[in-house]
Amino acid sequence: QVQLVEAGGGVVQPGTSLRLSCAASGFDFSSSAMHWVRQAPGKGLEWVAVISYDASDKYLADSVKGRFTISRDDSKNTLYLQMNNLRPDDTAVYFCARENYSGSGSRGPPKYFDHWGQGTLVTVSS
């Protein structure tokens, strides 16, 4: 079955870096676009980043642009999020999610996130 397992979270000081990973199994990872979504404690979901199946397209939310990088290693079935210059407001549980799509629409098949990891907590505090 599809499984996504995040790792790499922890407590770090402001201005430092952290790399999260998301190990995928149970599906053809190299054919799937993947996303990172975060959730600050007691808050809602915030989309963070997406990488296309072939890594040719990468997009980041404005709140992390210039500080975070998304990448993937299909040989390891692993998704990454490199987070630099971390700030206290980056404190959150970070989820990876698989993109799926079905049906048709004016902008291509509608996309949704059909599988999510359990999340890894990143705490940025001095």
Which residues contact another protein (rule: CB under 8 A)?
35, 37, 44-47, 50, 59, 62, 95, 102-103, 105-107, 110-114, 116-119
Of 124, 121, 125, 126, give the one whose Cα is nearest residue 38. 121
CB of 81 to another protein, least distance (A): 15
Residue number with CB closer to another protein (75 or 102): 102
Task: Give the residue from 46, 123, 55, 54 showing the smallest Cα distance to 89.
Answer: 123
CB of 47 to another protein, least distance (A): 4
Closest CA to 4 of 47, 108, 55, 21: 21
Residues contacting residue 123 through CB under 8 Å, at least 6 positions apart: 9, 10, 11, 12, 91
Give me the least distance between CB of 52 and another protein, in Å please.
12
Indicate the residue among 46 and 74 with the shorter CB distance to another protein.
46
Q: For another protein, give the closer residue by CB, 15 or 110.
A: 110
Q: Which amino acid is at 24?
A: A
- Measured from the CB atom, the residue of 16 and 40 that comes closer to another protein is 40
